[in-house]
Structure 1
Amino acid sequence: MLFDIEVKISLKRGMLNPEATTIERSLDLLGYKVKNVKTDEIIKFQMEGEDREVIRSNVTDMCERLLCNPVIHDYKINVIPQNMACGK
């Protein structure tokens, strides 16, 4: 079975986010008043397997070891069997 995987990575609460600060300041210079800009990263890929929980465990391991820094990042994992994706 093929699974669509989506990992959303964001900075933990209280961490400085210079990218978001730059965006907020730049938008202000363009005349837009925005607050609380956040930047997240979304990584999407597919994995083959039979057990959704084993896939989730593998993706968690990927996040802890490579995809993010668990000291400063939070992450959310979405595992969708491909036959259920997009109303199939």
Structure 2
Amino acid sequence: MAEKLDSDRIKEIYKLCKGHFGDVRFVGIKYHSKIGWVSKAQFNDAEVGNLTADGKTSSDALRNLRSRIKKIIKRYNGV
């Protein structure tokens, strides 16, 4: 199987967020000169707002964001 691309990871995070949080405005990644790669999921729901994660590479940042979102979902479902 071919290696996952960042675009595949973004789509996966989008589906995960849409399934749990509802209305997703934006999922993406950018390079910040002082921090490095930053991934962000932004929601239309003001209560959730947005979630960010950073990493040494763009793929790391997306993996960290996915992991963070999964932890939040797991915590939410545990309550």
| Structure 1 and Structure 2 fold alike (TM over 0.5) | no
The alignment's TM-score, normalised by the length of structure 1, stands at: 0.26
Bigger relative contact order, structure 1 or 2, given CA contacts below 8 A and separation 6+? 1
Work out which of the two has the higher radius of gyration on C-alpha atoms and give 1 or 2: 1
